[in-house]
Structure 1
Amino acid sequence: MAVLHSAPRFASNEGVLDSLSLALGSMLVSAKDEMGEVVLTVQRDRVEDALRLLRDLHQYQQLMEIAGADYPSRAERFEVVYMLLSLTKNHRVMVKVSAAENTPVPTVTTLWPVAGWLEREVFDMYGVVFAGNPDLRRILTDYGFEGHPFRKDFPLTGYVELRYSEEDKRVVYEPVKLAQDLRSFDFMSPWEGADYVLPGDEKAGTPPVAEAKVTESPKQTGAGAPAEAKSHEKVVPTAVKATDKAEPGAPDPTAKRDDRPADGAASDKAGSGPAPEGS
C-alpha cells in the first residue's frame, strides 16, 4: 500500500535563498548556495530571532544539530552552525554565527529544549559560551578536564592522563607519560625511498674492494706445510662391522627377503586355524 505524504521526495533550492534572505533582512550577514546547501550567516546577537522566524514563518520546525568549527586565524575564531529541517517541505538549511572566546552566543533553548544538550557539547569541545543556557556544563569530558579538545591549537597528547587507582579507590590524574616518542611518518612510496638514512643504509655506502685478495701459496694461509700435505689425503669412510653379539636395547632383526614365506604359503598359513564353533 502506497503511503502518501505532503512532503516531496526531493526539494529544490530554487528560490529558497532569495526568499529567506528577504525575510531575514538586517539580521542576515551573508547568504550562499554552497555544495547544494543553503548557508545563511546571521548576526550573533540576533540568532534567536532569526531561528524563530525560520521555524514559525518558513516551516523549519526541527533543529537537527548544533556543530562547531574553529578557525584560529580569524578574529572571531569560532563558528556555531545550526542545522534546520523542514518536515513539510523536506528541505534543510544551515545557519551560522561567529564568536570569539570571550563573546557569548545567545542560547536557543527557548525555541528547542533539545538545544541544551547540543550547546553543552559545543561548549565542551570548543569552549563557546552560550548565554542563557540553564545548565551549561561539560558533557563529554570529565568534570576536572582542562582545555577543549576540538580546538586546533589543543595539544595532541593533552596535559594529563587519568586512570583508576586501586590504592586510592578513585580516578587519579597524572602527567602524560608516553611509552615512546611520537614518530613522524612520511607516507612515501617504498619504491621511491625516504629522504633520511635508515638503520643499515650506511653499509651501502662502503666503497667496493679495488682488488680481490687470493691465497696463492700455503704461506699466505698460515697453516704451514704439514696441514697443506694433509689436505691432499683422501678420506676413506669407516665400514661398519657386523657382529653376532646382541647389543642391549637393540630392536629384533628383521627377516631377509629370501627367508620370507611365499604369498600362497602365507595365505594358507593365515587361513589355517581352529574352525569356528557350529561349523
Structure 2
Amino acid sequence: MALPHGVVQQVLVERGAELVLRVRREALIETMTLLRDGDAFAFEQLMDLCGTDFPERPLRFEVVYNLLSLSLNQRIRVIAATDAASPVPSVAGLWPCATWYEREAWDMYGIVFQGQTDLRRLLTDYGFEGHPLRKDFPLTGYVEVRYDEERKQVVYEPVKLTQDFRNFDFLSPWEGMTTLPGDEKVHLNRIEGPKP
C-alpha cells in the first residue's frame, strides 16, 4: 500500500536522527493508517499529539503527532498544518488515547478535530473564553476570577490594568547592569593594585 502523489509535502531528518514527515491535512487518516498498519512501518503507538501556533502563516497551526514503533524500535514525527477554521481529521479511531490529546489541543489552541465527539474543555474552566496558548491571546487573559468577601462568592470581572503595567521595559536586567554589587572592589584592585 502506498500513498497517492502529493500527500507527503516534506521529509526531514532533524538533529541527525529524528524523522519528520509533513503531510497534507486532508490525507492525514490515510497516512496514519499506513504508518500504523504497514509492515514496513508498524508505528503501533501514538506517544503524543500537540499543537503549535505561527500566527504570521496562513496555516497558522501545526498539529504534531509523535509515533513509536516498538517492534522496529523507531520513532517518527508527523506534522499537519491547518488554519483556525479548517478542522483536522481525528485520529482517535486509530489510537483511542488521541481523544485526550485532541481535547487538549482544542482547549489550548482552538484546533478543531473532525470526528472527535468529545471536544470539551480539559485544562481551562468551563466558562473560559479563548484559547490560552495562541500567540495572540493576551498575557493577562480577558477575565479576572477572584473571591469577593462581601458577596461571599467567586466573581468574574473584566481585567483592568493600570497604565504602569502596559508599558514594558524589554531590556533584560542582565543586559542593563554594567556592574554587579561588589564589582567596585575588583575594579579598584585592578587600578590601584591590591592593598598590603
Same fold (TM over 0.5): yes
Paired residues for 1:91-110 under 5 Å: 91-110=74-93
How many residues align? The count is 172
Q: Which whole-Å CA distance do the structure 2 matches of 1:23 and 1:38 have between them? A: 18
- For 2:152 and 2:75, how far apart are their aligned partners in 1? 49
Choose from 20, 26, 31 the match for 2:11. Answer: 31
Distance 2:103 2:26 in 1: 19
Moved over 6 A (4+): none
Q: TM-score, normalised by structure 1?
A: 0.57
How many percent of aligned residue pairs carry the same amino acid?
54
Residue in 2 that maps onto 1:128 = 111
> Any idea what SS the aligned residue of 2:30 has?
helix
Task: Give, in whole Å, the separation in 1 of the partners of 2:152 and 2:18.
Answer: 52
2:159 is equivalent to residue 159 of structure 1: no
SS at match of 1:24: coil
State the Cα deviation string for residues 143-202 of structure 1 (Å, max 9, x = none): 11111111111111111111234555543211224578334241224227xxxxxxxxxx
Aligned partner letter, 2:140: T
SS at match of 2:3: helix
Q: Which amino acid aligns with 1:153?
A: D
Query: TM-score of the superposition, structure 2-length normalised?
Result: 0.80
Q: Corresponding residue for 2:164?
A: 181
- Deviation per CA, 1:86-130: give whole Å up to 9, x if none: 111221100011101110011111011111110011011111100
Match of 1:85 among 53, 65, 68: 68
Distance 1:73 1:85 in 2: 31
Moved more, 22-31 or 52-61: 22-31
The structure whose residues are more often strand, as a share, is: 2
Greater RCO between the two (CA within 8 Å, min separation 6)? 2
Amino acid at match of 1:190: M
After superposition, the C-alpha distances for 1:25-56 in whole angstroms (9 at most, x for unaligned) are 43212111122211111111111111111011
Alignment of 1:53-72 (within 5 A): 53-57=34-38, 58-72=41-55
Shift in CA distance, 108/170, structure 1 to aligned 2, threshold 3 Å: farther
Shift of 1:24: 3.4
Tell me, which stretches of 5 or more residues in structure 1 are unaligned? 1-21, 193-279
- 2:55, 2:159 → 1: CA distance? 25
